[in-house]
Structure 1
């Protein structure tokens, strides 16, 4: 079953993720323009982009555990998932900054004043070097070891993103808690795998 699925996945080009990601972002924007996201379209669009970005981040984190523990090989899609994640987080930030806050001074004020915005911005800023180096040229120039070390920033980025979402929502909501637990669980699998591979 897994072999058949891996064979099918090998036939799907990685750029498919870019096309689907861009199309979905455009569809959400269209819904926001036409009233399909409810009475507060800016807030809804901002949240939709952020949630998709967090889901894609989780999908990227799941690639290695799925390969190691289930034999499902999604490695060819990991870079596309990462770049598309960054695209959605940029969209999330842009809607917040340009359509919601609408003032650079207020944007900075919100970052300094509100902890959940501070955490979200920190996660966003940490994503920038990963997006910039998500190409073969950067990998060759940096070398594999340095490149992999830099891209381990994905781990704190994911945790901070989940904490940002958890602090953002009003009242007790189970969804952001689930996201945080899933992220911590995926990171825990890496710790367990590292322990297993350490020579006695």
Structure 2
């Protein structure tokens, strides 16, 4: 049986090679590229990200990444964002008083974690996953590895009507509740680093790969 074909988007972000290796160990055939044909044709696209929100958006925009990511999402083609690759899917980020627009796939603003806790939030933490989760299936009670000082701390998506298609939001806590992951049709993302989260992170990546 052929391994699912996954592209890790190469736009100059750090930490991409650890993501590539983790995805390979989880059972994918992985290519690191920014080639648009490969981005569109792959069974899955992973968007990593480390550093500042605005810098990641600038780097993505320089290779027209938001357009190609958006095309995949519009076509129902799976995308997984990791860390700042998760954050830029929201409406905007505010760091050191400077606001930058995100992709706006989800409502919400990336802001600083409370100033009465140690930042960055670095290390292992639990999550609160919703019923019906795919990413956390079988690992709902595990810990995952976080490295961040900013997060989305509220969720304003209209969920007045219960639906199987409603986004599934996973939360964690460091001084305040913040969004640790979202699953929304073809689009999923995690604030933590699954590639640094040991066996639990490996299982999460396998769950995503198996869903492609």
Class of the TM-score when normalised by the shorter of the 2 chains: under 0.3
Give the TM-score of the pair, scaled to structure 1: 0.26
Structure with the largest fraction of strand:
2
Query: Which has the greater radius of gyration?
Result: 1
